Amino acid sequence: MIKSTSFPAPPPLPPSMGKKPPPPPPPPMAKIKYLAPPPPPLPPPLLIRNKLPLPPQPPLLSIGLRRVPEVIQLYNSLMRRKDSVKKSGGLDIAPTNTRQMIGEIENKSSHLLAIKCDVANRGDFIRNLIKQVENADFAKIEDVVAFVKWLDDELSTLVDERAVLKHFEWPEKKEDALREAAFAYCDLKKMLELEVLNFIDDIGLPCAAALKKMQTSFEKLENGAYNLSRMRESSTNRYKGFHIPTDWMLETRILRQIKLASVKLAAKFMNTVSTELKAAGGAPDFEELMLQGVKFAFRVHQFAGGFDAETTSAFQELRGISK
């Protein structure tokens, strides 16, 4: 019987021997030379054409023009004269100073000469007016109005008031304040007289026109009162510094007269509305006319601060018609 013999197992292969070797690098490629494309063919030479001759121009005589020999003669004459002046050295003109020329022209002006004459000869008169304005102190606004009128009469004797006074230390700020106060008072007084005190209730006017006229008068009074209130706030201290009275701007003076006048105007307005409503009866515009009368009464009432007895009676009558 044959005995089997066992052989030992072969040793393991190393890790590097178990992998396939990397493939060899590819052979280097040969460089390919690129040739530049051939240049494009030259364009064919341009054919130069002969220019066509221009059509003959018509003579000047054929288009309505004619030669004027006098133009050429005058030109030649002037050019010869210019050449002769150059050869002789030209005209002998003495140079003058521009400022001197302007000064001579100004001095020859009769107006400027008159201004200079007033400045030179009426200095004492103007200095006396300056003292009068600076020392003016008034107790009533009516005195301011009279003083401004007197001052205007005195200044009117000057050739040019502004041009003359600028050569002196004229108290312009006080003069402006005096004029402002005087004109404001006169404007309010004139408006009060024209719009209310001398208001003419024209019976021949239609109702709508009469009411419009009274509304316009009241609006003027209202605007005048508001302007005076703003003026009082902004000008009281300035007026006091110039010794100008300011009590005429208080509620108890001309403003009170304006409010009383507006109340009288409201009475006329409501009486006109009441008369029209009684005559119209149940007209379509009855409610509108009634509303117009009540609105005006309310507006005047708020402006004046109330009604007097006459206006209250007119309102009660209007109120009775509305019931």
7 φ, ψ (degrees, to nearest 5): -100, 145
Q: How far apart are CA 274 and CA 69, in angstroms?
A: 95
Tokens standing for 173? 């700020």
Q: Which one, of 267, 266, 269, 248, lies nearest residue 257 by Cα?
A: 248
Alpha carbon distances (Å) from 289 to 206, 278, 284, 298? 13, 11, 10, 14
Look up the pTM and report it: 0.60
- Write the CA distances from 58 to 27, 53, 66, integer angstroms: 90, 15, 13
pLDDT, one tens digit per residue, over 136-195 is 999 999 999 999 999 999 999 998 888 899 999 999 999 999 999 999 999 999 888 887
Q: What average pLDDT does this structure show over 208-213?
A: 90
Which pair of structure tokens corresponds to residue 147?
Answer: 């003083």
For 309, the token pair is 């007895």
CB 133 within 8 A of CB 171: yes
Encode pLDDT of 230-288 as tens digits: 999 899 999 999 999 999 998 888 899 999 999 999 999 999 999 888 887 666 778 88
What tokens appear for 298 in the block? Answer: 């309310």
Q: Which of 221, 233, 142 is nearest to 186 (CA)?
A: 142
User: pLDDT-based confidence at 39, cuts 50/70/90?
Assistant: low
CA distance 319 to 30: 123
Task: Please give the radius of gyration of the chain, using alpha carbons only, rounded to the nearest integer.
Answer: 54
What are the pLDDT digits (tens) for 85-122?
A: 555 554 444 445 666 666 666 555 788 888 899 899 99
Residue 195 is classified by DSSP as I
pLDDT for the residue numbered 64: 42
pLDDT, position 282: 62
